[in-house]
Structure 1
Amino acid sequence: MSSVHSAPPGTRRTRRPRRPRRLGLCDRLFLTVIVGVPLLALLVFVWLPALASLALSFTQWDGLELSGIQWTGLDNYREIFTNYPPFWPAVQHNVIWLLFTALLPTPFGIFLAYQLDRKIRFTRIYQTAIFLPMVLSLAVVGLIWEIIYNPDNGLLNGILNTAAPGHHIDWLGDPDLNLWMVLIAAAWRHTGYIMILYLAGLKGFDPALKEAAALDGANGRQTFLRVVFPALKPVNVIILVVTAMESLRAFDIVYVLGGGVGSKPGMELLSLLITDNIIGESSHIGYGSALAMIMLVISLAAIGTFLVQNFRKEDQ
């Protein structure tokens, strides 16, 4: 008979460590596709065009034959900064776009999110109505506002003629007005975007903090400014970065309301200048690539500086 040996009392049995499971062929193929396809798309559609633009920014090329590429060094950049009249107005308009978006539609979207988070009646209907412009593309938004701004039979001039007959304003043709009209149209869409982003942050906010502030005698405004807003700092950083990116890459709505390639006076933006030089009537690939590199540097400098300062304050 075989004897069964039992472990001495007080001793613990040790389990043998499990060997790591080896990935099969299907697992490796799946991981290769999941990781490789996005990396390949990023390389082909982002990094290669960016590197090509960087190289072409030091050349002069009409985009027809590769043999026509001529190395010019820093001449394109020198010409842009010193002898290209639309450049500095475009930079000024991009700055105006950024300030307008950061000071009006962004705070208004945050205000709407805070109000809708208070469980008022018909909250879902209000959210859908405000967020609806975000579902539409900027090109469609531009077409809608083009109908509103139409100088002959547009809605805005129709209301103006009803209140004061005989008044006729070309909203998109006046260099003193057209940029502000485009900003209003862009703000209509941007407000809903910010509202949804902030509303998502408020859903994860601890309501006990609001109750504690209310017990301390804080009103709604004080609760938001001193409790809610500081606690949602990660969401605030995302909103500011999104606002800066939306302002710097504004193109679609200005392209539609401005009538296509070729910036109208008063509506010059860096994105339009890039498009005008690359696919316009007089194609200057090198010039447009240099403008794209300048826009990239401005974007990285603005967003990078803000993020570095923000994270440095968190570490302190």
Structure 2
Amino acid sequence: MTPTTQPRVTGGSRRMRLSTRDRVTVALMVLIPTAFAAVLVWLPALATIVMSFFDWDGFGPFTEAKFVGSKWYSDAVTIYPAFWPAIQHNVIWLIVLFGVATPLGLLVAVLLDREVSHTRFYQTALYIPVVLSMALIGFVWQLMFSRDQGLLNLLFGTQIDWYGDPKINIWSALIATSWRHMGYVMLLYLAGLKGVDPSLKEAAKIDGASEPKTFFHVVFPVMFPINVVVLVITFIDSLRAFDLVWVINRGRNGLELLATEVTRNIVGEAQRIGFGSALATIMLVFSTIFIIIYLRIVLKEDR
């Protein structure tokens, strides 16, 4: 039986020469995902950037679109009333997910890692929201927050419109999204904790380190890759938050977000393709900055 690869020694080093079949397989494994990414991600992103400089209603041919330069970007930051509230709400979304939901997910993961009784049940119960769509989660929490028939008002004997009051509806939405985010973070950290070498904990224990010190000075730094992944997921979730608030009130009345404003201007009642594309490009810039920072951290850690 002939092997598919043949070792060849050159200059004191061993190289593996791939067969033609293996080269074709590797090329296809690289080119096919790249082609899908180009068609489904890169080209639409480039088209969005281009359309952000034109005035186009989306119905006529794009050749008839009028070039307006940076007008839509200027309008977004100066005269569009929902832009800065949307930015503020996205920042609040990020702070709550990162400062509340993520630590709770980490805490639950640490507790479940102790192999307490019924661990499988708790893991399943906490992970169930992750497999549900955010739209469905919005409907589920409607049973809790409904003004007339909600569980909270029934328990406290109140008539608070948790989803309708612009002063509190964003916090109600954040409770619902944190419920889901916490389960996802729990799963990631639980996997990371299972991969920590037990000898590190034993060494810290022998040195007299307490359990909290062992976790924060030994275990948590070892999970650096998981920490970076959680940070990226949290940022992306806060930026692309859309489904939940769209189900609640279509991103109005205190729930304005960048994603809802993009949708409202591109496929909603406004039908301003160029302006919506400008808002989407701003989101893309924010995402790109964070991705670059993430890649620099990962590459530095690999080196």
| Structure whose CA Rg is larger | 1
Per-residue deviation, 1:212: 1.9
142-151 or 91-100, larger mean C-alpha shift? 142-151
In the superposition, the TM-score normalised over structure 2's length comes to 0.89
Question: d(CA) in 1 for partners of 2:106 and 2:211?
Answer: 14
State the match for 2:75 in structure 1: 79
Per-residue deviation, 1:21: 6.2
**In proportion to residue count, which structure has more strand?**
2
Give the CA RMSD over aligned residues.
2.4
Q: In the alignment, is the contact (CA less than 8 A) between 2:51 and 2:273 conserved in 1? A: yes
1:54 matches 2:49: yes
The equivalent position to 2:182 in structure 1, one of 184, 187, 191, is 191
The equivalent position to 2:208 in structure 1, one of 185, 209, 217, is 217
State the match for 2:20 in structure 1: 23
Runs of 5+ consecutive residues of structure 2 not aligned to the other structure:
1-6, 10-14
Q: In the alignment, is the contact (CA less than 8 A) between 2:169 and 2:254 conserved in 1? A: yes
Cα offsets for 1:120-139 (capped at 9, x unmatched): 11111111111110011111
Q: In the alignment, is the contact (CA less than 8 A) between 2:8 and 2:17 conserved in 1? A: no
The equivalent position to 1:64 in structure 2, one of 59, 62, 65, is 59
State the match for 1:159 in structure 2: 155
Question: d(CA) in 1 for partners of 2:16 and 2:188?
Answer: 45
- Which letter does structure 2 place at the counterpart of 1:218? A
Question: d(CA) in 2 for partners of 1:23 and 1:309?
Answer: 37
The equivalent position to 1:264 in structure 2, one of 224, 248, 252, is 252
1:146 matches 2:134: no
Aligned-residue identity in percent: 48
1:112 matches 2:114: no
State the match for 1:122 in structure 2: 118
State the match for 2:39 in structure 1: 44
State the match for 2:12 in structure 1: none
216-225 or 184-193, larger mean C-alpha shift? 216-225
Question: d(CA) in 2 for partners of 1:19 and 1:278?
Answer: 52
The equivalent position to 1:284 in structure 2, one of 266, 272, 276, is 272
State the match for 2:4 in structure 1: none
The equivalent position to 1:233 in structure 2, one of 202, 212, 224, is 224
1:241-260 to 2 correspondences below 5 Å: 241-258=232-249, 260=250
Per-residue deviation, 1:256: 1.2
Runs of 5+ consecutive residues of structure 1 not aligned to the other structure:
1-14, 162-166
Q: Secondary structure at the match of 1:104?
A: helix
- Which letter does structure 2 place at the counterpart of 1:271? A
The equivalent position to 2:292 in structure 1, one of 280, 283, 304, is 304
The equivalent position to 1:294 in structure 2, one of 282, 285, 291, is 282
Q: Secondary structure at the match of 2:20?
A: coil
Cα offsets for 1:11-46 (capped at 9, x unmatched): xxxx9989956425xx67755654443222211111
Question: d(CA) in 2 for partners of 1:142 and 1:84?
Answer: 28
Q: In the alignment, is the contact (CA less than 8 A) between 2:93 and 2:174 conserved in 1? A: yes
178-187 or 60-69, larger mean C-alpha shift? 60-69
In the superposition, the TM-score normalised over structure 1's length comes to 0.85
Q: In the alignment, is the contact (CA less than 8 A) between 1:62 and 1:68 conserved in 2? A: no
Question: d(CA) in 2 for partners of 1:293 and 1:250?
Answer: 16
Q: In the alignment, is the contact (CA less than 8 A) between 1:53 and 1:292 conserved in 2? A: yes
Cα offsets for 1:141-170 (capped at 9, x unmatched): 111112221111112211121xxxxx2000
State the match for 1:170 in structure 2: 161
Q: Secondary structure at the match of 1:151?
A: coil
Change (3 A) 1:308 1:29: closer
Change (3 A) 1:154 1:21: closer
Question: d(CA) in 2 for partners of 1:239 and 1:16?
Answer: 43
- Which letter does structure 2 place at the counterpart of 1:64? F
Per-residue deviation, 1:214: 1.9
Q: In the alignment, is the contact (CA less than 8 A) between 2:94 and 2:235 conserved in 1? A: yes
